[in-house]
Amino acid sequence: MARPRKPTALHAITGALEHDRARFADRANEPHDERPLGPPPDTLEAPIRAAWLEIERLAPWLVFADRLAVEIAARLLVFVRIAGVAMATPAQLSRLQAALGALGLTPADRAKVSMPARKPNNPFKQFGKRMGETA
């Protein structure tokens, strides 16, 4: 069976997209989402909301389009924690590991993630040029 196609966003994060742009030319019109992940849905129970927020803190690269995957991972995480790792079946642990891996939250998958350096927030940027600055 063929290996599933990796998302273009994952190639961008790992640097493969910049390394060989021609290889990904056919993906130019893929949908992308730059909105932040956002808060968990109000319909989630408190433990699942807490797991969502934990996942969000651990993976700042997640975006709004990842919400369903984050919800699945949060539900699995709570289920395994309540059952206890010793009591969870190998299939349940495998599902959790796959869900976390899809989000880049296992050691092997996290090694593939490369976050751009954060620029310091300049609260005065909205006021334009500084006094005495020329264009």
Interhelix angle for 67-83 vs 90-102, to 10°? 150
User: In the numeric block, which tokens belong to residue 109?
Assistant: 């998958």
User: In the numeric block, which tokens belong to residue 71?
Assistant: 């919800």
DSSP class of residue 61? Answer: T
Helix (H, G, I), strand (E, B) or coil at 63: strand
Is pTM, for the whole model, over 0.75?
no
Kindly tell me if the per-residue pLDDT of 100 is higher than 70: yes
- pLDDT tens digits for range 28-57: 777 777 889 999 999 999 999 999 999 999
- Residue 75 — pLDDT band, cuts 50, 70, 90? very high
Our CA angle for 34, 129, 131, nearest 5°, is 155
User: In the numeric block, which tokens belong to residue 19?
Assistant: 């390394």
Sign of CA dihedral 54, 57, 8, 28: positive
User: In the numeric block, which tokens belong to residue 11?
Assistant: 């190639």
